[in-house]
């Protein structure tokens, strides 16, 4: 596990230069809870497809979805900033991508573990935590085989319900990572797979409360549901 702390400008610059040498970067400003944030991501995630060898794809079917900031992540981050009390709580994010929701939760006073299967994603998580001067932990996590023994008060996930094969592993991971009275919040752009996920969650003794939201960015409007999951 790596702990990321605020840093001076020279350390941040070193992190940026290391990423810039490997990726075509985009840095974008967002406002959550009347506070300004800046997040680094990859300008074109499809350009990363050439970095995945056929052997790696056969093993994991891993696509570079982590490299972009998706409407669900923005919507979830806004929800955390404006509507969710997290101060003093222990939080885990699965499939964190570049770490937007984790950074916002840490800024609000949560103790955060940001996780992703991609080690590349975790490099961006660390940069974005440093850039926004928040303290968080980061760690690789495979939701198909959760080896983390800690349990958390809250779990966050944004836009992770995109492959049918992942639905049950995600339910199982949530069950393992949450405390008995813990709560999970999953943001999804109303994909049809989400319905199957919710059925699996109910079969595994979770109750679901949906919150309907919309993300508007430029000319783009995306309907996003945030699903609150609690044990029955």
% the chain with pLDDT above 90? 82
Q: Which secondary structure element, helix H or strand E, spans residue 11, and what is its range?
A: helix 9-20
For residue 58, what pLDDT is reported? 47
pLDDT digits (tens, 9 = 90+) for 106-157: 999 999 999 999 999 999 999 999 999 999 999 999 999 999 999 999 999 9
For residue 60, what pLDDT is reported? 57
For residue 2, what pLDDT is reported? 53
Hunting for tokens 């056969």 — which residue is that?
58
pTM to 2 decimals? 0.91
Neighbours of 36 (CB within 10 A): 9
> Where do runs of H (alpha helix) occur along 100-210?
100-107, 119-131, 167-177, 192-203
CA-atom Rg of the chain in angstroms: 17
Q: How far apart are the first and last CA of the chain?
A: 32
Write out the residue range of the structural domain in which residue 156 sits.
Answer: 2-231
CA atoms in the 13 A half-sphere facing the CB of 180: 0
DSSP assigned state of 117: S
For residue 63, what pLDDT is reported? 65
Q: Is the pLDDT of residue 7 over 80?
A: no
Neighbours of 189 (CB within 10 A): 18
Q: What is the mean pLDDT of residues 28-46?
A: 92
CB 212 within 8 A of CB 205: no
What does the alpha-carbon distance between residue 90 and residue 16 come to, in Å, rounded to a whole number? 28
Higher pLDDT, 72 or 63: 72
Hunting for tokens 């993300």 — which residue is that?
215
Q: Domain of 107: which CATH number?
A: 3.40.50.150
For residue 59, what pLDDT is reported? 53
Phi/psi for 188 (5° steps) reads: -145, 140
Mean pLDDT estimate for the chain: 91
CB 146 within 8 A of CB 115: no
pLDDT digits (tens, 9 = 90+) for 157-194: 999 998 999 999 999 999 999 999 999 999 999 999 99
What does the alpha-carbon distance between residue 2 and residue 14 come to, in Å, rounded to a whole number? 17
What is the number of domains present in the chain? 1
């Amino acid at each position: 596990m790596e702990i990321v702390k605020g840093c001076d400008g020279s350390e941040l610059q070193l992190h940026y230069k290391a990423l810039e040498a490997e990726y075509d970067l985009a840095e974008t400003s967002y406002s959550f809870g009347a506070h300004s944030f800046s997040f680094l991501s990859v300008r074109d995630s499809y350009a990363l497809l050439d970095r995945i060898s056929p052997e790696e794809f056969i093993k994991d079917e891993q696509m570079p979805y982590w490299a972009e900031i998706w409407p669900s992540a923005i919507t979830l981050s806004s929800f955390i900033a404006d509507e969710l009390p997290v101060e003093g709580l222990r939080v885990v994010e699965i499939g964190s991508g570049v770490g937007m929701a984790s950074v916002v939760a840490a800024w609000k006073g949560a103790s955060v573990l940001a996780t992703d299967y991609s080690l590349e994603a975790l490099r961006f998580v660390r940069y974005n935590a440093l850039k926004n001067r928040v303290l968080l932990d980061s760690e690789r996590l495979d939701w198909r085989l959760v080896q983390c023994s800690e349990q958390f008060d809250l779990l966050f996930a944004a836009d992770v319900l995109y492959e049918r094969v992942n639905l049950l592993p995600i339910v199982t991971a949530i069950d393992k990572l949450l405390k008995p009275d813990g709560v999970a919040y999953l943001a999804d752009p109303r994909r049809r797979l989400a319905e199957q996920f919710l059925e699996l969650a109910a079969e595994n003794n979770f109750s679901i409360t949906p919150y309907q939201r919309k993300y508007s960015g430029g000319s783009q409007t995306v309907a996003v549901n945030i699903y609150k999951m609690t044990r029955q």
